[in-house]
Amino acid sequence: MKIICPKGELLNRINIVLKAVPAKSTMPILESIVIDVKQDTIKLIANDMELGIETIAKGEVIEPGSVALNSKIFSEIIRKLPDNDVTIQTTENYSTLITCEKAKFNISGSSSEEFPFLPNIERNGGIVLSQFTLKEIIRQTVFSIADNESNKIMTGELFEIKEDELKVVSLDGHRVSIRKVKLNQPYPDMKVIVPGKTLNEVSKILSGEFADEADLYFTDKHVIFEFDDTLVLSRLIEGSFFKIDQMLSSDYETKVTVNKKELLSCIDRATLLVKESDKKPIIINIADGNMQLKMNSSIGSMDEEMDITKEGKDILIGFNPKFLIDALRVIDDEEVQIYLINSKMPCIIRDKEESYIYLVLPVNFNSAVQ
Amino acid sequence: MKIICPKGELLNRINIVLKAVPAKSTMPILESIVIDVKQDTIKLIANDMELGIETIAKGEVIEPGSVALNSKIFSEIIRKLPDNDVTIQTTENYSTLITCEKAKFNISGSSSEEFPFLPNIERNGGIVLSQFTLKEIIRQTVFSIADNESNKIMTGELFEIKEDELKVVSLDGHRVSIRKVKLNQPYPDMKVIVPGKTLNEVSKILSGEFADEADLYFTDKHVIFEFDDTLVLSRLIEGSFFKIDQMLSSDYETKVTVNKKELLSCIDRATLLVKESDKKPIIINIADGNMQLKMNSSIGSMDEEMDITKEGKDILIGFNPKFLIDALRVIDDEEVQIYLINSKMPCIIRDKEESYIYLVLPVNFNSAVQ
C-alpha cells in the first residue's frame, strides 16, 4: 500500500474516524485506524462495534492495499508533521513508513484481516436534513439522556417521523426534552431509539453549516448518517420508548412569560451556593408582575426578584436548578413561556408552536424553612 | 464596613490576590480574602505566609471596617454577578451582604483579626523594570527550576544585579537557563534567590505591557514587587546560589547555526515516540552542511535531516529532547547558535551578546544500537 495525501486532509479524516475508536478495548485491533486503499479511493475506518465510521480521504493512490495502525500513534504523528504532502507506505510485515518533507517515521502496523469492517447495509429512502439542523436538535436534547446504563432506553433518544415532521425526545426520569423539525417532504412513519453516544459523536463531526446536508437511513437494527464523504453506522437501542404524551397535557393554572437570559443568569448565580453533595432546590415564588428566586444552603443565601408577566394563580415551587439551566441554555428565544399547574406537577417550558417542549419535575422542599 | 465597587474592577482585584491563596491550608483563615477598608482606600489582601498580595480596588467607601471572606465563595459570587456596581456590606457577626442590581447574596464572613496582615517593610532603592521585561525573563527561565523540594535552592531563581545589569539564573541539575537585561541605571550589587512559585504567580498578574512599570525592592529576607496598585511580598530562599561560571566556558569544538523553528518542530515530532516512562534520547549527528536527528523507541523510529551551517568538528551527541524543546521555545531569534565540545560535555545555546545562555547536559546512549 502506498498513498500520498495532503497533511490537512489526512488529519481532518483521522479526526473524524477517531470518534469511533474506543478509549480502551479488550480487542487491541479496535484501537486501530484501518487505511483501506482501492484503485481510486483511500478510506479510513474505525469501529468500536457499537459505532463505526468510514471516511474517504482525497489523495493519490500509488499502490492499493490496507493496513491497521494504532490510532493514537498514527494521529499524533500526522498532527505534528509539516503542512505538506504526506506519503504512507507499508513495507514487509505491515511496517509503515510515513514521510513528509525530510521527516521520516517508521511504525509497526498490522494486517486489517482481524478488523471488523463495517457491514454493507442497503440504504433506501433516507431522510435529508441540513447539518445545521441535525447538529442543533442533538445539542438541544442530548443533555437529558440518562448517563447510567441501568435503563438502556434512557441512554438513547427517540427519533420519530410522522409525515413531514421529525420529533426527537430524550428523558432521564426527572425531565423530558422534545424538539420537532419540519422535513423537506413527507416520509413513511418510523420510530427508533438512537444511542446518545452515537449522537454526541456525530454531532462533533457535523459541519453545522446550513448549506451542508446529511442523509439519515434507518433499518431495524441500525442507523446510518452519511455526509461529506463520511459514513457513520450505529446500532440502534432495542425496545419501545416511553409513552410521554399523557405527561404533556396543555392544561395549566399559571403561565409565566420571562426574559430567558435574565432567568438563566439568576439561576446560574444561585447554583454557586450549591455543593455537589447537597441537592438544594431553587425556590420560585410567582406573583403578579414579579417572581422571586431564593436559594438557601450551608454556604449562604441568595434571593433575587425578576419582572415577569403572569396569567393565572400565584404559585410557590422548587426545582433542581441544573435542570432549569440545561433547558434554558438550549432555547434561542429571547422570552420564554413557563406553564405550571401546582407545586407537585412538572413545569413545561415551550413555545407556541411546540417546536420545543422542556418538562422538568419539581422537588419537594420545606417551605417553613425557606 | 460598606463599599460600592464596579463588578469588573472588583473581579480583577480578586483575581490578583487569589494568586496568594493556598489551595489547602491547615489554617482556614488563610483561605480567605480580607477586605480592609480605610477612610479612602479599599484594599484586598491574601497571604499564604510565603507569598502575600495586597491590591487597591477603586470604589466608594461608605463605611470603613474589615472582613475576611472565603476566597472561593466570594470570587465565584462576584464572577457571576451582572456587570454593574456591587455593594458589599457587613452586618452583625461579619455576616456579609453582597448586592448587585436585584441579586442579593448573604454569606458568612469572619473577623480579620486572626489574619496575618503583610508586614510593613521599608522600601528603599528599588529597581525599575518594564512589566514586559519582567514577565519575559520569568517565562524564559522559570521552566528549568527543580520542582522537588529536596534541594530548596534549585526551586528558586538567582536574581543578581551588577552595575546596570540584571542576571536571572535557574537550574535543575540537568540544565541551566540564564537571561540578562540592561537596567535603566546602575544599582548597588546584589544577589538573592527568589522562589519559583512567587515568580510564576507574579508573572500571571503582570500586564506584560512595555509601557507599564514594576518596582522591585529587596531586603535580607524579602522581595517586593510593586505595580498597578498591587504589592506582592515574598520571602526569599536563604543560602548561596550555585557557582556556574566555570560551566560556561566559551571554548568549543563545534558551532552549529540552525533555523530555530525547524529544529524545534523536528525535536517536537520526535517526542511522539517517547513514552513518559522510558527516557529515550534524541541522537543528533552533526556533519558539514547538515544535521541528522534520530529517535528510536518501542513505538517506532524517526529520522530527519536539517540544513545547517557548521564550524569545527563533526559530532554525534544525544539529549533529552524535552530539555532542548524547553530552551528553544523561549528563544525569539530566527536562527540559533549551538556550541558543543564533545559528546560528554554540555551544549550551550546562546546569542553573541549572551543576553541568553541555555546549557543542556547530554545523555549517554549506545551508539551501536542507534
Q: Give a yes or no: residue A367 inside a domain.
A: no
- Condensed to tens digits (0 to 9), the pLDDT of residues A257-308 reads 999 999 999 999 999 998 877 788 999 999 999 999 999 998 899 999 999 9
ipTM of this predicted complex? 0.86
One domain, residues A240 and A255: no
* Residue of A80, A95, A297 best to disrupt the B interface, most CBs of B under 10 A: A80
Contact by Cβ (8 Å): B347, B302: no
Is residue B250 predicted with pLDDT exceeding 90?
Answer: no
- The pLDDT value recorded for residue A314 is 97
- DSSP secondary structure, B27-93, as one string: SGGGGEEEEEE-SS-EEEEEE-SSEEEEEEEP-EEEE-EEEEEEHHHHHHHHHHS-SSEEEEEE-GG
Examine the domain organization and report whether A84 and A167 are in the same domain: no
* Coil, helix or strand at residue B21: coil
**CATH number, residue A177:** 3.10.150.10
Q: How many residues comprise chain B? A: 370
A301-327 per-position pLDDT tens digit:
999 999 999 999 999 999 999 999 999
Does A367 score more than 70 pLDDT?
no
Kindly indicate the confidence band of residue B125, based on its pLDDT and cuts at 50, 70 and 90: confident
- Given a cut of 50, whether residue B370 has pLDDT beyond it is no
Instruction: Quote the CA–CA distance of A167 and A14 in Å, as a whole number.
Output: 32
Domain-embedded: residue B121: no
Answer whether residue B369 is part of any domain. no
- The answer to whether the CB atoms of B107 and A303 lie below 8 A apart is no
Residue of A nearest to B75 (CA): A272
* A80 contacts B303? CB cut-off 8 A: no
* Number of CB pairs, chain A paired with chain B, less than 8 A apart: 66
Picking from A153, A225, A137, A144, the residue whose alpha carbon sits closest to that of residue A193 is A153
pLDDT digits (tens, 9 = 90+) for A343-362: 999 999 999 999 999 999 99
Chain A residues in contact with B304 by the CB 8 A cut-off are 102-104
In degrees, rounded to 5, the angle at the alpha carbon of residue B67 between the alpha carbons of residues B66 and B71 is 135
Predicted confidence band of residue B364 (pLDDT cuts 50, 70, 90): confident
DSSP symbol at B124:
-
Nearest CB to B300 within list A73, A266, A300: A73
Q: How far is CA A137 from the centre of its chain?
A: 8
**DSSP string for residues in A115-139:** S-PPP-----S-EEEEHHHHHHHHH
* H or E element in which residue A145 lies: none
Find out whether B196 and B151 touch, Cβ atoms under 8 Å: no
Closest approach of A297 to chain B, Cα-based (Å): 10
A64, A92, A114 — which closes off a domain? A114
The verdict on residue B116 lying in a domain is no
Q: Is A38 helix (H, G, I), strand (E, B) or coil?
A: coil
**Does residue A10 belong to the interface with chain B, where contact is any CB pair within 8 Å?**
no
The yes-or-no verdict on residue B368 having pLDDT over 70 is: no
Q: Are the Cβ atoms of A269 and B102 closer than 8 angstroms?
A: no
Considering the domain boundaries, does residue A135 fall inside one?
yes
Helix (H) or strand (E) holding B243: none
Residue B159 shares a structural domain with residue B221: yes
The answer to whether residues B138 and B104 belong to one domain is no
The fraction of chain A above a pLDDT of 70, given in percent, is: 99
Domain end residue (candidates: A222, A245, A268): A245
CA distances from B79 to A297, A325, B73, B84, B316 (A): 19, 17, 10, 11, 55
Domain shared by A233 and A220, yes or no: yes
B285 and B320 belong to one structural domain: yes
Residue A246 has pLDDT above 70, yes or no: yes
Asked if B107 lies within 8 A of A299 by C-beta distance, the reply is yes
- In the beta sheet, which residues pair with residue A129? A214
Cα torsion B322, B326, B332, B337 to 10°: value is: -60
Would you call B107 an interface residue with chain A, using a CB distance cutoff of 8 Å? yes
β-sheet bridge partners, residue A156: A195
In a shared domain, residues B104 and B190: no
In a domain, B120, yes or no: no
Count of domains observed in chain B: 3
> By the CB < 8 Å criterion, does A276 face chain B?
no
Question: H helices within chain B, ranges in order?
Answer: 7-17, 71-80, 131-139, 196-205, 260-270, 321-329
* Nine-digit cell string for B145: 527550576
Q: How far apart are the CA of A201 and the nearest CA of chain B, in angstroms?
A: 26
Distance of CA B368 to the CA centre of its chain: 41
Q: Are A320 and A363 in contact (CB under 8 A)?
A: yes
For the segment A216-244, the average pLDDT, to the nearest whole number, is 95
The pLDDT tens digits for B54-81 are: 999 999 999 999 999 999 999 999 999 9
What 8-state DSSP symbol labels residue A266? Answer: H
Residue B369 has pLDDT above 70, yes or no: no
Lowest-confidence segment of A31-35, A93-97, A150-154, B155-159 by average pLDDT: A150-154
**pLDDT tens digits for B260-298?**
999 999 999 999 998 877 788 999 999 999 999 999 998
Does A292 reside within a domain?
A: yes
The reply to whether A265 and A196 lie within a common domain is no
* Percent of residues, chain A, with pLDDT higher than 90: 88
Are B73 and B140 members of one domain? Answer: no
* Percentage of residues of chain B with pLDDT beyond 70: 99
Residues from chain A contacting residue B77 (CB–CB below 8 Å): 269, 272
Interface contact B73-A269, CB threshold 8 A: no
Residue A149: the pLDDT is 77
Residues in contact with A35: Cβ distance below 8 Å, sequence separation at least 6, in sequence order? A1, A3, A42, A43, A44, A66, A67, A69, A88
3-state secondary structure (DSSP) of residue A262:
helix
Question: Inter-chain contact A304–B265, Cβ cutoff 8 Å?
Answer: no
Name the domain boundary from A245, A264, A290: A245
pLDDT of residue A234: 97
Q: What is the mean pLDDT of chain B?
A: 94
Mean pLDDT of B156-169: 97
Q: Are residues B241 and B253 in the same domain?
A: no
Say if the Cβ atoms of B105 and A301 lie within 8 Å. yes
Per the structure block, which three cell numbers stand in for B84?
A: 454593574
CB proximity list for B342: less than 8 A, separation 6 or greater: B253, B315, B317
Average of per-residue pLDDT across A142-159: 92
Cα-based angle A223, A46, A80 (whole degrees, multiple of 5): 135
Q: Name the amino acid, one letter, at A62.
A: I
Residues of chain A with Cβ-Cβ distance to B75 below 8 Å are: none
Q: Which domain holds residue B324?
A: 249-360
**B269/B240 same-domain check:** no
Edge-to-edge strands, sheet with B60-63: A315-319, A282-286, A290-296, A300-307, B103-108, B95-100, B85-90, B2-6, B60-63
The cell for B366 is 549506545
Across the interface, whether the CB atoms of B77 and A306 are under 8 A apart is answered no
Is B305 within 8 Å of chain A by CB?
A: yes
Q: How far apart are CA B156 and CA B192, in angstroms?
A: 9
Query: Is there a domain that residue A122 lies in?
Result: no
Distance of CA B78 to the CA centre of its chain: 27
**What is the torsional sign of CA B352, B357, B358, B362?**
positive
Predicted confidence at residue A248, as pLDDT, reads 87
Confidence label for B85 from pLDDT (cuts 50, 70 and 90): very high
Same domain, B236 and B273: no
Cell numbers 535603566 correspond to: B184
Name the band, by pLDDT with cuts 50, 70 and 90, for residue A370. Answer: very low
Identify which of A84, A47, A91 has the alpha carbon closest to the alpha carbon of residue A67.
A91
Query: Mutate which of A302, A306, A325 to disrupt the B interface (most B C-beta within 10 Å)?
Result: A302
How close B210 comes to chain A (CA, Å)?
A: 33
Q: How far apart are CA A175 and CA A349, in angstroms?
A: 11
User: Is the Cβ of B285 closer than 8 Å to some Cβ of chain A?
Assistant: no
What's the confidence (pLDDT) of residue B367? Answer: 56
**What pLDDT is attached to residue B122?**
87
